[in-house]
Each structure stands twice: as structure tokens, then as C-alpha cells.
Structure 1
Amino acid sequence: MGSKAKKRVVLPTRPAPPTVEQILEDVQRAQAKDPVFTALAAEDPPGPSRSTEDSKAQWKELYQQSWAYVAMNQQLQRAGNGLRQKCEHLRRAGEDLEREVEQVKQAALLETATAASV
């Protein structure tokens, strides 16, 4: 019978990663319509490029929206914590009320039983 052992395939060694200079040269040689750059570009409609003022205004608006989002998120977290505390307080108050109602019932039954025996 023959050996069923498979021959190991020897893979070639990996090439060394490119240097920073090679990467920069590659990026500088790339055309403006290179799919890598167009796929990652902002989703602005094609046309004349925005002015610097428009760009600054857009960044300022994005910053303000981000800041407002963070502030609202913190406010919602505080409100959620407050609601959890109030819910726990109401649960405890409900348990206390149930105990007191049970005590009143017991006292009423005891009073009724005492009055019936007299």
C-alpha cells in the first residue's frame, strides 16, 4: 500500500512591505480618477470645487452637529439613570404599600373576629 501522506507545498516567501517613499511615490503617480480615490471621496455632486469658505463652514457645521450629538447623548444617559432610580423608588414604594395594605387587612379581620366573638 502506498503512503497517503500529502506532499507539502512550499509557498514563496512574502515580499517586504513597501517603504514610505514607495507609497508616497505611488500615491503621487496615481491619477485623479483612480477608483481608490474616487471611492473614498466625499459624496458631493460633480462640479466646481467648493470654496475654502464653504469648506470651513461645512466643517464648522459638522463640528457643531457632533458637539450637539455628544451633549444630547450625555443628557440622555443622565435621564436614563434618573429614570432607573425613580423606577426603583416606585418599586420599593409599591412593596411598602402592599405590606401596609396587608397589615390593614389583617387588622380588619382581627377586629371582625373579635367583634363576632363578643
Structure 2
Amino acid sequence: MNIGSKNKKRQVLPSRPDPPTVDQILEDINGAAPNDPVFSILEQTGQDSPRPSDSEVESRFQQCRQYLELNERLQEVRGRLLKQREELRAAGEQLQTDVEEVRGQTL
């Protein structure tokens, strides 16, 4: 009998559980002890800070706006570059045709 034969039955895994609801998550967070490892990790990484100030929110908003504007400009430039590349390719083909025509006339 071949060790790698396909006679083995596949084990059927149970389906994934549904993700928790927001209420279940909040209940879990509110029921956690203050010394819960998640909170200590957040403190160590500095992610346990209070809500950001209005100036921090505004700063992040402006950064997001600038990112979106830059991304839009990059997409526009990309479109122009693709068009210019196609024009250069067509001009190169036409130049090659013209060179071949001139060669044919000089022979």
C-alpha cells in the first residue's frame, strides 16, 4: 500500500463562529480586569492615551485630505504618462516605417 495514497478521508472542520457583536465586544472590554494583559500592552505601546485633541483630529484630517489630493493627482499624472507612452510608441513605429522607406529608396 502506498503511504501517500488518497484513501485517507479528509477531516471536516467545523464552520467558523460568527464574529462578536459590538455589544459583546463592549461587554468584554468593560468586564476585563484593569491588569488584563491587553491593557498593559496598550500602555507599553502608548496606545492607551485618551481621545485625541481637536487639534490632533484636525491634523489627521488635513493629512488624510492631502493624501487623497496627492493620490488623485498621481492618478491623473499616471493617465497622462500612459497616453504619452502610447504616443511615443506610435511615433517610434512611424519612424521605423519611414527609415525602412528611405532605405528602400536608396538601394
TM-score by length of 2: 0.61
Bigger radius of gyration among the two? 1
Question: What is the one-letter code of the residue matched to 1:77?
Answer: Q
| Greater length-normalized contact order (CA 8 Å, ≥ 6 residues apart) | 2
Aligned to 2:57: 59
Give the RMSD, CA atoms, in angstroms. Answer: 3.5
Q: Mind listing any 5+ residue stretches in structure 2 that lack a counterpart?
A: 1-18
* Residue deviations 1:63-102 (CA, integer Å, cap 9, x gap): 1111111111111111111111101100100110111111
Question: What is the one-letter code of the residue matched to 1:89?
Answer: E
Residue among 70, 73, 79 paired with 1:72: 70
TM-score by length of 1: 0.56
Aligned to 2:89: 91
Q: Mind listing any 5+ residue stretches in structure 1 that lack a counterpart?
A: 1-16, 110-118
- Alpha-carbon spacing, 1:41–1:61, altered in 2? closer, same or farther (3 Å): farther
- Identity of counterpart residues, as a percentage? 39
User: Is residue 27 of structure 2 the alignment partner of residue 29 of structure 1?
Assistant: no
